[in-house]
Amino acid sequence: MPSPRVAIVIPAHNPGGYLRVAVDSVIAQTFADWEAVIVDDGGEEDLSSLSGLDRRVTVIRQANTGVSAARNRGIAETSADLIAFLDADDSWAPQKLERQIAALEAQPECVLCTTDFQIVDGAGERIGPGYRGFREGHLELLGGCGICISTVMARRGAVEAAGGFDPAFSQCADWDLWLRLALIGPFARADEILASYRVHGTSMSRNYMALVEEGTRLLRGQFATRSGEEQQAANAGIARLRRLAGTQAYDELRQTHRIPALARALRLNPSYTLRSLARYALRRR
């Protein structure tokens, strides 16, 4: 039997009800020649029933080794030439796979295809558009990561040549892989909102201090032996990471009124924090 055209890799660790929404969005795809593997990364929830939703869906359980190892396991357990990634709390529009396959067929030199996306809350209600920029080529990606992993379809050969996801990273593992793939070939894009990125209380993206630490380590490694232009872009990327984390630290301060959050905000983004504190003081007068 020939391999399916697309392999879908979904890592999961105690995903709650969001995973069913994600899987339902896969089953609803207008393109039907796919295989999907859910890698249960040592969670306490029983996910085995999800394999009964569709014969193309498989659930694999492993000891908790982290999201990067779970994605690599999903890649290894599938055989399709194209690999699409979907996080357990995100979802797709029905035409997502169809549109990306068409984009990659039209641009055979491209190693990866992304799409536009929207940001939704825990209830699935739209918050706003996905972030833009920082997605076109290696140099731009050094300045930041504008690629949501649940929008990505990549060629297996390129992913394997790049070495897959690095288990040394958790917060930045996808960014790290996109940077390595950008050195192999160009990226394609389907300019439609074809994925929903969910922001909720347990999202990994809320761990902003870990993101700063990993992102700094990643970018320092990326520009260590490269050109001055790339080093400048990576330095700008580190500065951007710190500014963004500083705004998140200030948001934490507003919610908790805790001194450690204030210290983090002042260290990461002092100008924004001082301006915000001054505005707050003026309002209190």
Which among 168, 185, 203 is the end of a domain?
203
Same domain, 83 and 150: yes
Same domain, 178 and 223: no
Same domain, 231 and 253: yes
Residue 121 placed within a domain: yes
Residue 1 placed within a domain: no
Q: What angle do CA 134, 135, 139 make, to 5 degrees?
A: 70
Same domain, 144 and 193: yes
Number of domains in the chain: 2
What is the value of pTM for the model shown?
0.91
Q: What angle do CA 68, 245, 127 make, to 5 degrees?
A: 80
Which DSSP string do the residues of 63-114 spell out, in sequence order?
----HHHHHHHHHHT---SEEEE--TT-EE-TTHHHHHHHHHHH-TT-SEEE
H/E stretch holding 156? helix 156-162
3-class secondary-structure state, position 226: coil
Strand pairing report for 153-155 and 82-85: antiparallel
3-class secondary-structure state, position 188: strand
Same domain, 160 and 20: yes
Same domain, 180 and 142: yes
Residue 273 placed within a domain: yes
Same domain, 164 and 33: yes
84's tokens? 């699409």
Which among 143, 168, 203 is the end of a domain?
203
**Amino acid 227: pLDDT:** 78
Sign, CA torsion 150/156/158/163: positive
Same domain, 120 and 162: yes
- Spatial contact of 268 and 253, defined as CB atoms under 8 Å apart: no
270's tokens? 């002092």
Same domain, 88 and 44: yes
Where b means 16+ CB within 10 Å and e means fewer, 147-168 reads: bbbbbbbbbbebbeebebbbee
Same domain, 179 and 214: no
Same domain, 128 and 214: no
112 beta partners:
154, 187
3-class secondary-structure state, position 49: helix
Residue 52 placed within a domain: yes
Average pLDDT across each block of 10 residues of the chain; the chain has 285 residues. List them in order. Answer: 92 94 98 98 94 95 96 98 97 98 98 96 90 84 93 98 95 95 96 92 64 93 76 91 90 88 92 89 77
Q: What is the CATH number of the domain that holds 170?
A: 3.90.550.10
**Amino acid 24: pLDDT:** 97
Kindly give, in sequence order, each residue whose CB lies less than 8 Å from that of residue 59, ignoring residues fewer than 6 positions away.
37, 38, 40, 47, 48, 50, 51
Which among 184, 203, 222 is the end of a domain?
203
Same domain, 192 and 234: no
**Amino acid 112: pLDDT:** 97
Kindly give, in sequence order, each residue whose CB lies less than 8 Å from that of residue 121, ignoring residues fewer than 6 positions away.
127, 198, 199, 200
Domain extent at residue 33 = 6-203
